[in-house]
Structure 1
Amino acid sequence: MKKVVLLMAVVMAAGSLQAQNTIAMVGKDKKEIRKERHEKRVALRALEGKEVSFQSKEKFAFDFGDVQDVQWARSGYYDEATFTNQDGRKTTAYYDITSQLVGTTSPRQFSDLPMSAQKYIKKHYQNYEGAPVLMFDDNEANDTDMLLYGTQFDDEDMYFIEVQDGVKTDVLRVEMDGAVSLFKELK
């Protein structure tokens, strides 16, 4: 009987250790996840030529379906498709050098920002009303970096808002959890 009880105690202890290890793995904080993504991310490579690639157009049709009002442009790093999405919102999709979707941007309203971010911005910036807000929706399946406002950043869903502070304009980065940070100062 003592052997059975001892065996059960050993099995329960082993199970408890396994559960703790699983919880620790699931509980990775944002910094660790970002660090792992940063190590895996793909550096930007410039596109050659001025013509949008046929592959990007084909991939767009696969990703978004039969969209009628698409306007294509080639920037330094992306083939860009601007169109009206199903919600009636003007959207731009960005395709990298391998014609894979990096993510999309669409204009938003100040009221779309997380409430904690709205409170922070109202407290620290006077000229936030009517400020342009842009939402970046990352394609998690592609590790290619995104470039907005001339600055490269880690891919993840987030908002950008241009606020004026006196003479200068600051672009703030607003994460989905409401964290606000300075992304770039514009002249």
Structure 2
Amino acid sequence: MQVQAQETDKKAVKNEIKEAKKEVKKEKQVLKAEKKELRKLEKGDVSYQSKQEFYSDFGDVKDAQWKRSDYFDEVTFTKDGQSMKAYYDSQSKLVGTTSHKKFEDLPISAQKEIKSKYKNYIIKSVMLFDDNEANDSDMLLYGAQFEDSDNYFVELIKGDSGIVLQVTPEGNVFYFTKL
């Protein structure tokens, strides 16, 4: 009797595990379906809605220069003396902004790691991508898509070639792409 009960318990546990795996698989499928892919914009003029959203987001900016790229309506402008670029998605919602930064703006740990691991490279530029947390669209920089979050991007040059490093606000450094 006791052996039969143990066998029944084992079968029940196995069935529970099977069901849990099915649930996890379903959840993964739902998440995958919900993940927004970057949608190419139709060729043409910058969206009127993107311009309206921009002025709502940043106020009456006088020097706004617009262009439409494959995936975003992009506007270059100056705000509080800082040159910036804002990116609007196919729904005319702000994805995020980029601005030029100094190497010294990076977290100290990232500066040390870059100086030690990439000492034969010349630092070309540092850019900060400031994500709009209210929009879950992924961003595309340097021809590579990444999940939206605030990050620095450091361009390094060595001879005729270059690379881009991605640096988190916490100071983690990752290879991002080739220039």
TM-score of the aligned structures, taking structure 1 as reference length: 0.75
Paired residue total: 149
Kindly indicate whether the alpha-carbon contact (under 8 Å) linking 1:158 and 1:176 is maintained by their aligned counterparts in 2.
Answer: yes
Gaps of 5+ in 1: 1-34
- Per-residue deviation, 1:127: 4.8
Among 74, 99, 116, which residue is 2:92 paired with? 99
Q: Which residue of 2 aligns with 1:113?
A: 106
**Which residue type is aligned with residue 72 of structure 1?**
W
**Which residue type is aligned with residue 149 of structure 2?**
E
- Do structure 1's residue 65 and structure 2's residue 59 form an aligned pair? yes
Q: Which of structure 1's runs of 4+ aligned residues deviate more than 3 A?
A: 38-41, 127-130
- Per-residue deviation, 1:50: 2.0
- Per-residue deviation, 1:163: 1.1
Q: Which residue of 2 aligns with 1:42?
A: 36
Among 132, 139, 148, which residue is 2:125 paired with? 132
Which deviations, in whole Å up to 9, do the C-alpha atoms of 1:42-92 show, x marking residues without a partner?
210010022001000000010001110100000000000100012x11100
Q: Which residue of 1 aligns with 2:46?
A: 52
Among 73, 76, 93, which residue is 2:70 paired with? 76
Kindly indicate whether the alpha-carbon contact (under 8 Å) linking 2:110 and 2:171 is maintained by their aligned counterparts in 1.
Answer: yes
Between the aligned partners of 2:115 and 2:136, the Cα distance in structure 1 is 34
Which deviations, in whole Å up to 9, do the C-alpha atoms of 1:118-158 show, x marking residues without a partner?
00001011255542111000000001110000000000000
Name the Cα RMSD after superposition: 1.7
Percent identity, please. 55
Instruction: Give the secondary-structure state (helix, strand or coil) at the position aligned to 1:99.
Output: coil
**Which residue type is aligned with residue 112 of structure 2?**
K
Kindly indicate whether the alpha-carbon contact (under 8 Å) linking 1:171 and 1:185 is maintained by their aligned counterparts in 2.
Answer: yes
